[in-house]
Amino acid sequence: MSKRKLKEDNFTNGECISKVQRLLRERFCHPSPSAKLFGMEQQYKHLSELLKRTAIHGESNSALIIGPRGSGKTQLMCHALKKLLEVKQVRENILQVHLNGLLQTNDKIALKEITRQLNLENVVGDKVFGSFAENLAFLLEALKRGDRADTCPVLFILEEFDLFVHHKNQTLLYNLFDVSQSAQTPIAVIGLTCRLDILELLEKRVKSRFSHRQIYLLNSFDFKKYASICKEQLSLPSEFPEKNFAQKWNKHVQSLLEDQAVHDALQNQFHYSKDLRSLYMLLMLALSNVTVPHPYISVSDILEASKLCRVDSKANIVHGLSVLEFCLIIAMKHLNDIYEGEPFNFQMVYNEYQKFVQRKAHTVYSFEKPVVMKAFEHLQQLELIKPAERLSPCAQKEYLLMKLLLDNNQIMDAVQVYPNCPTDVKQWAVSSLN
C-alpha cells in the first residue's frame, strides 16, 4: 500500500474515532431526553398521565419520585416533560419552576428563585408582604388570566426534596401542597428524593395536604437486561455517517461482550451496583483508550476500567501514610482481633505499638509519645478512625474511645502494596494476635 493511501486511511479512521468518542461520551455523560429509558416504562406512564392532567385539564397534583441515587429519577422527569411539551397547546401555556435543595437552602432564597423563573420581578417590585404565604399567593395570583380554566398551570419540580424538609417550619412545602389541594391556580408539585423515609420527615400539617402519590424507581432489571443495556449503549446507531466503520464497531462490541472475562467483569459490577451511572463510568474509562492505533475497545480495557471503578479509596489513603501511622493502624488491627471489635483508646494503641518496638529492639521505630499522639490525631483527620461516642470537652485525649474504619482485608491488601514496607512491619501485620 502506498504511503499516501495509508495516510488517507489513518485520517479516515481518525475522523471516525473522533465521532465515536464524541457520540458515546455525550451518551454516557449527558443522557438526552430522547434517549431510551430502561426498566421505567410503568413509572413513566404514571408520571406522564399525572403531568398531562395538570397541563391540559387544569387539575392540581402532587407526587414524589423516590429511588436510590443513579436510578434515573431526573432522567424520568426529563422524558416525561419532553413528551408533554411536544403538544403545542401545553408548550405555549405551561410554566415550569425548577428548584434544588442544594441551591435553595432556605425558603427566602427559594421564593426569589420562583419569582425569577416566573419572570415576575417587575410585578413584585418593592412590595412588602406580611408572610411567606402572602408572597407566594400574590405570585400565583399574578399568573392568573381570568377564571381557573384560563389560568396558566405551573409545574414545580423539587430536586433533593428531602433538603426542603429541613427548612424552617416547612413553610414552602406547606404552601405549595396547600395550593395544590385548593381550587386556585392549577399546579403540580413533583419532588425527587433518595430518602425512602421521606413521609416520616414531613410535619403533620404538610403531610395532610400531600396527595401521597409515590413513584418508586428500584433498578429491578436482571443481569441479562444489564448486559443488553451495556451492548445498546456501546453500539453505534444506524444513522452513523461511516456505515462500514459502524458495522465493524458493532460486530466488535458483540464479540467483546461474549468474552468470558468481560462477562465476569460486568457481572461483578452488576452485583456491586445496579446503578447505570456506574456502568457508564466503566464504559467511559474503557472508551478513553480508543485511539487510531487501537481503534476498538479490548478485553483488557474493560478489565482495567473495572479495576479502577472498584478501587478502594480508604485503602488508597493508607498507601500514603508514614511508617509510624501505618504501624498504629496495624496495632489497632491487633486490638480489634484481641477485643473482638470493641472500641479502643490511644493509650491501648500506644502500648500495643511499644510491645512491637521492644520486641524488635529497633530504635528506628521508636518515637516520643507526643509524636505518636500527633500521628494518631492525623489518622482521625483522615477519617480512618472515629470517636465511638460523643466527645466530652473535659475528657483526656489519651482515653477517648475510638473505632477503626478499616477492616482486616483492607489492611492486609494495603500491606501488600504499601511502598517500601519494612519487613518487620509486614511480618507484624500478618502475624496472629501479638
CATH number at residue 143: 3.40.50.300
Helix (H, G, I), strand (E, B), or coil: what is residue 100? strand
Residue 111 one-letter amino acid = L
Cβ partners under 8 Å of residue 210, min gap 6? 62, 177, 199, 202
Q: How far is CA 346 from the centre of its chain?
A: 35
Domain end (from 216, 240, 256):
216
Cell 489497632, residue?
332
Cell of 423: 519487613
Asked if residue 3 is part of any domain, the answer here is no
Classify each residue of 398-411 as buried b or exposed e, where b means 16 or more C-beta atoms within 10 Å of its C-beta: eebebebebeeebb
Cβ partners under 8 Å of residue 159, min gap 6? 74, 98, 99, 100, 101, 102, 192
**Per-residue pLDDT at 5:** 43
164 and 269 part of one domain? no
Domain end (from 266, 289, 309):
309
Answer yes or no: are the C-beta atoms of 412 and 432 closer than 8 Å.
no
Answer yes or no: are the C-beta atoms of 427 and 365 closer than 8 Å.
no
Cβ partners under 8 Å of residue 423, min gap 6? none
Looking at the DSSP assignment, which residues form a beta bridge with residue 62?
189
92 and 140 part of one domain? yes
C-alpha–C-alpha distance, residues 172 and 109, integer Å: 11
The tally of domains found in the chain comes to 3
Q: In terms of Cα–Cα distance, which of 121, 126, 163, 153 is closest to 139?
A: 121
C-alpha–C-alpha distance, residues 408 and 421, integer Å: 17
Cell of 274: 445496579
What does each of the 434 residues of the chain score in pLDDT, given as a tens digit?
Answer: 454 444 444 446 788 888 888 999 988 887 766 667 777 888 999 999 999 888 888 888 999 999 988 888 988 999 899 888 887 778 878 889 999 999 999 988 898 898 888 887 666 655 656 677 777 777 777 655 444 556 788 899 999 999 999 988 898 898 888 888 876 678 899 999 999 999 999 999 999 999 999 999 887 778 888 899 899 999 998 888 888 888 999 999 999 999 999 999 999 888 888 888 888 899 999 999 888 888 899 999 999 998 888 777 777 788 888 889 999 999 999 999 888 888 999 999 999 999 888 887 666 678 889 999 999 999 999 989 988 876 666 667 788 889 998 888 888 888 888 888 888 888 888 886 54
pTM: predicted TM-score of the whole model, two decimal places = 0.68
52 and 187 part of one domain? yes
**Per-residue pLDDT at 9:** 47
79 and 152 part of one domain? yes
Q: In terms of Cα–Cα distance, which of 376, 388, 370 is closest to 321?
A: 376
**Per-residue pLDDT at 379:** 93
Reported as a single tens digit per residue, the pLDDT across 18-40 is: 888 899 998 888 776 666 777 78
338 and 368 part of one domain? yes
63 and 139 part of one domain? yes
169 and 64 part of one domain? yes
Q: Determine the structural domain holding residue 111 and report its residue range.
A: 41-216
Kindly state the DSSP code that residue 107 receives in the 8-state scheme: H
Q: What are phi and psi of 2, to 5 degrees?
A: -70, 160
283 and 331 part of one domain? no
**Per-residue pLDDT at 1:** 45
Kindly state the DSSP code that residue 344 receives in the 8-state scheme: B
**Per-residue pLDDT at 310:** 78
Q: What are phi and psi of 124, to 5 degrees?
A: -70, -50
**Per-residue pLDDT at 98:** 94
Domain end (from 199, 216, 233):
216
Q: In terms of Cα–Cα distance, which of 41, 40, 23 is closest to 32?
A: 23
CATH of the domain at 414: 1.10.10.10
C-alpha–C-alpha distance, residues 409 and 407, integer Å: 6
C-alpha–C-alpha distance, residues 351 and 359, integer Å: 12
Kindly state the DSSP code that residue 273 receives in the 8-state scheme: -
98 and 171 part of one domain? yes
Answer yes or no: are the C-beta atoms of 207 and 201 closer than 8 Å.
no
